Amino acid sequence: MLFAAVSCFLYWVWHEYTSPKNYQNQIRFIIEPGATADQVASHLVTSGVLESSWIFRLGARFDDLTLKIQSGEFLLNSGLSTREILHHFAFGKTLQRSLTVPEGLNKWEVVDLVNSSLGLRGIIDARNLLEGSLFPDTYFYSWGDTREKLIERMKTKMDRSIKKSWALRNKASVLQSPKELVTLASIIEKEASLTSERSRISAVFNNRLKLGMRLQADPTVIYALTGGTRKLGRGLSRSDLRLRSPYNTYLIAGLPPGPITNPGEVSLRAAAQPSNSTDLYFVSDGKGGHLFARTLYQHNINVARWRKLKRRKYR
């Protein structure tokens, strides 16, 4: 009778361990780094996946999986047995989350995105990062990864892109170092809306640098005013253009001391490969692009056109 009772009990345990569970929907389940099998079992009960935790704990010991449970975020399909859940935690793939960093964000904005992303550990201080060192892209990560690791991936990708673009610079480029490349690319990133115009805008700035003309780029003045830590929230005034700052390219000759944002690959390439153009000026055409000019006379005509369009827009 004792043997029969033990056999029935073991059969019942095996049945409970291998039978599908009755939860109806897919469940996202998170295992934090360092969580033990007992903690995971308790979490499964409180999440409504399992009615009892002890069969999960016993099964983990039986299948020798106690120390093989991964941390991360898992998707549990309906109808899985306790054993299938356990094996999924030990051998299955964790869900991948993604974070997209658009081109043209400064380091403060990128860090805000990273610090606010769910599932990552640690906090990043933007003051410890160099402007222009974080490559804009879509990054995939798993729950429990560190924010520091993600930032390092951005820096590594930016370094590679800079080296690649620097090696491909053409004869029209007057840049003297990779740092100057990133700095000019960051200005192009803020000035250009159309990809097709970036190399031509680069040509304007390279031509100006060659002739010793000031770049007179509005985004550098905005960076001088805000330090990149906030939005300006208004247009530039004449007094802004007189601000004493090494980033104010209306006052200083040459490039500012460093980047003003994190440029993407297209802007880095444009900085290294300006088009074959003698343009020295450009102004908005009011349609998302720019009007280019070789002479100040033609530029003034273009500016007048832009102001006329602007007045019509706000009537």
Spatial neighbors of 76 by CB under 8 A, at least 6 apart, are 23, 26, 27, 28, 29, 49, 85, 88
Long-range contacts of residues 228-231, Cβ cutoff 8 Å, at least 24 apart: 228/106, 228/107, 228/108, 228/109, 228/131, 228/260, 228/261, 229/108
Report the alpha-carbon distance of residue 141 to residue 314 in Å, rounded: 45
Report the alpha-carbon distance of residue 241 to residue 190 in Å, rounded: 17
Report the alpha-carbon distance of residue 295 to residue 282 in Å, rounded: 10
Q: Please give the structure tokens belonging to residue 229.
A: 């830590």
The predicted model scores a pTM of 0.86
pLDDT truncated to tens, each residue of the chain (315 aa)? 666 665 666 666 676 778 887 666 788 899 998 899 999 999 999 988 888 888 889 989 988 999 999 999 999 988 888 899 999 999 988 999 999 999 999 999 999 999 999 999 999 999 999 999 999 999 999 999 999 999 999 999 999 999 999 999 999 999 999 999 999 999 999 999 899 999 999 999 999 999 999 999 999 999 999 988 888 888 888 999 999 999 999 999 999 999 999 999 999 999 999 999 999 999 988 888 999 999 999 999 999 888 887 766 655
Q: Please give the structure tokens belonging to residue 275.
A: 């088009």
Q: Please give the structure tokens belonging to residue 276.
A: 């074959």
Given a contact cutoff of 8 angstroms between Cβ atoms, the answer to whether 94 and 72 are in contact is: yes
Rg (CA), the chain: 29
